[in-house]
Amino acid sequence: MNSPRHRHLALLGFLGLSLLASWFVFRNAFWAGAVIAPLDIGPALYSKYAWLDPQSSGIPANHYIIDHLQYDLPQQYSIYQAYQSGEIPWWDPYAFGGRPFLADAHVNGLDPIRVVMYRLLPFVWAYNWTLILHSILTGLGMFLLLRQFGQSPASACWLSLAYQFAGCYIMFIGHPWIRATFLYYPFLWLVWHQAVRGGRLLLVAPAGLLVAAAMYAGNLQSNSYLIIFAGIFAVAYGWRDFQTWKKLVVVLGLSLVLGAALAAPLVSAEVELFVLGSRPILDRKSTRLNSSHS
């Protein structure tokens, strides 16, 4: 069962089941017959959108993901229009009187998958398939990782499908940077494993690309998770083995530095926005005192 032919068949079997399960979850969105967003919230909760569905009962199917409609969908359409015009959407002229765009924590506008989809497809197709591919790649990465650790094709398949459709990903589908970032972690774990245990140090290059992709898909908060993930990986693999620690320092250090360097155009803008957005908390008593003296 470990022959290349059986491994390939197992992989194709998982991809088939993943596509089938994705079709069941996303239904008409596969063919752009619907958009993956809670459009029924508009006419249900806001009178100015009642004309969209005069028969609305006033109770949306899922009120919890309202940010998906009010925040994610409109800004993704702005990003799509910019890419279609051959521009990089660094600035949003429509919200809050103008603001930095791609440096915003929520945007996910430089996610490599999203950029490719937005350049190639009409908006509804591109928006839907960005989220669908996020889902499929999440399961694929976990399947490859479990197979690397010796799980049987059947157990790896079912565990990966459970991970692909985990409640945390479904609940936060309106926060696209979450799954878009974490889908790279199983692939990164797999490459780091091969580099450290297999002694294949040249894998630092693809590991760096995966780190960069996770940074472009995420934000400053999710970038910190990469450091935490690398630290846990190092402790688990190195423990008391000094020789392994030497490999870990080289592999993890170079991967993170390379990834950060490749993602510097976005990360530097995020850091600048974070620093400029800092507001000190003033003491009320001293403020009143200064006011009276003036």
Distances (CA, A) of 172 to 163, 175, 179: 14, 5, 8
Q: pLDDT (tens digit, 9 = 90+) per residue, 68-114?
A: 888 888 889 999 999 999 989 888 887 777 878 888 888 899 999 99
Q: Which of 51-55, 70-74, 199-203, 212-216 has the lowest mean pLDDT?
A: 51-55
Residue 123 has pLDDT above 80, yes or no: yes
Question: pTM value?
Answer: 0.88
User: What pLDDT was estimated at residue 288?
Assistant: 54
What is the average per-residue pLDDT within 141-157?
95
Query: Distance between terminal CA atoms of the chain?
Result: 83
* Rounded-to-integer distance, Cα 143 and Cα 127, Å: 25
Give pLDDT, residue 167: 87
For the cut 60, the answer to whether the pLDDT of residue 219 exceeds it is yes
What's the mean pLDDT in 28-54? 85
Instruction: Say if CB 156 and CB 146 are below 8 A apart.
Output: yes
In Å, how far are 135, 204, 222, 235 from 200, measured between CA atoms? Answer: 29, 8, 27, 20
Residues 7-27 pLDDT 10s = 889 999 999 999 999 999 999
Give dist(CA 66, CA 164) in Å, integer. 22
Residue among 90, 83, 88, 89 at smallest CA distance from 120? 83
157 neighbors 142 (Cβ within 8 angstroms): no
pLDDT at residue 142 tops 80: yes
- pLDDT the model gives residue 286: 54
Of 29, 27, 54, 52, the closest CA to residue 42 belongs to 52
Q: What is the mean pLDDT of the chain?
A: 88
Report residue 91: phi and psi, to 5°. Answer: -130, 135
